[in-house]
A and B are shown apart, each in its own frame.
Chain A
Amino acid sequence: MPVFYRRLPPFHYVSPRTIEEAVLFLASHAGESKPMAGGTDLIPNLKRRELAAPNYIVDLKGVEELAGLSWHPQEGLQIGALATIRSISRFPEIRRLYPSLVQAALSMASPQVRNRGTFVGNICSGIPSADSAPALLSLNAELSLRSSRAERTLPLTRFFIGPGETALQPDEIVTALRIPEAAERCVYLKLSPRHSMDMAITGVAAAVTKSRNGYSDVRIALGAVAPVPMRAVRAEAVFKDRPISKDAIEEAAKAARAECRPIDDYRASAAYRRDMVYVLTRRALEQVLVP
């Protein structure tokens, strides 16, 4: 690009107080408005002109209904759209019942960014390496979405469509992430060259619960190795009606490697990412599965 920008492009700023107000505005200004929560993704994108500047930035932080972070024994975990990454990493029930979410949260960027950024914002970016995505996918997270037209619920597995592309409509916002059921054990492993401030080269999350027939329900999700964060369903199938064993883990790790679809890019080659899927999947399973 011929100009390196230091300033943001011009836009108008609106600050709705309710979900209704927010979605009505998005509907009436369809195509020229963009919602914002933490801004840690939006602002750099706008500054770099990677995103066409919208006429309106709709700041959702004034909408209290979106700010919740709560857990109930029956309903499970609800992560409001505005829950910051930091607050997620400190929430007692998340630390106790969903530690992979804490691992994911603490692997993201920096304290400064975690104080502003949100999990919902992270998944709405639709980037294949989004660190919150694998753990959420492995925990069967669902999204609640609202527009002026309708309210809907979508499993996270159906939310990611392509790199940078999600099922979120332009007049829609995510109001919350829901995780109905806790896992017995879960983990998120992130691989990158440094120990901080890197995007994942490969991210693997695993979660296990005892299913009704006594065998394990294993969920494995992969990040940064496909056009979208994905569940490794063939790897998961290895454990259907089968006892845990070292061989099963090995087989699942190889299956995950075979089913991921990484590309060569300047951060890593597809071959390396595939190999790392094998390594991280094996390690993640070794951590969550006890024979």
Chain B
Amino acid sequence: MQNTERISIRLVVNGARSDISVKPSATLLEVLREDLGLTGTKEGCGVGECGACTVLMEGEPVNACLVLAVEADGKHVETIEGLSDGDVLHPIQQAFVEMGGMQCGFCTPGMILSAKALLDENKSPDEEEIRKALEGNFCRCTGYTKIIASVRDAALRMRK
């Protein structure tokens, strides 16, 4: 079939409203990256197994590759680009910088958003809880050690 159908949707991404016209088969990930130019959210596997495409939808972490853009109509979506206040880093971002919670950085946006979802709900997670909250975010470079340390440090910063 020719893919000519278009559906008008309204996305609220990082607080900014976007009225766009999308194909039914377009995923939220594709629309964020290609229609809205927000390339901070990455595609690692496209099938929900790696978490590189994690965004917060209505505050909950989801894989944007598994969400159709039309399903996100009217929803609040937060991507990595929305976390900082201009150039002022969010405490979680600050923690990752100080503690060295990244190497290649490809998993980093997803990791940080998953961490945010955890810390917004649980101000003092223990190590088990941090690991469990990140189980959907794959990292090949770091062995997770400094990522876990960054989240712990972020929790401290956010409690201040």
Contact = CB atoms under 8 A, between A and B. Distances in A.
Check whether chain A touches chain B (CB < 8 angstroms).
yes
Given A59-B71, A112-B63, A115-B60, A44 B5 contact: no
What DSSP secondary structure best describes chain A's contact surface? loop
A111 B137 CA distance: 9
B101 interface: no
Contacts of B46: 6, 47
Interface in B97-137: 114, 117, 132-133, 135-137
B60 to A, nearest CB: 5
Contacts of A10: 1-3, 5, 23-25
A57 B30 CA distance: 18
Interface string B14-53: 0000000001111100100000000000010011110100
Interface in A155-192: none
B66 A113 contact: yes
A111 B117 contact: yes
Interface string A236-261: 00000000000000000000000000
Interface string B73-90: 000000000000000000
Contact of B47 (A7, A48, A61): A48
A171 B42 CA distance: 37
Contacts of A68: none
Interface string A29-51: 00000000011100110011000
A11 interface: yes
Nearest to A195: B135
Contacts of A39: 66-68, 71
B63 A113 contact: yes
A96 interface: no
Nearest to A48: B47
B62 interface: yes
A283 interface: no
B49 to A, nearest CB: 7
A109 B50 CA distance: 10
Contacts of A91: none
A95 to B, nearest CB: 16
A110 to B, nearest CB: 2
Nearest to B57: A115
Interface string A81-122: 000001000000000000000000010011111011000000
Given A10-B25, A57-B24, A115-B61, A109 B136 contact: yes
Interface of B: 1-3, 5, 7, 23-27, 30, 43, 46-49, 51, 54, 60-63, 65-68, 70-71, 114, 117, 132-133, 135-137
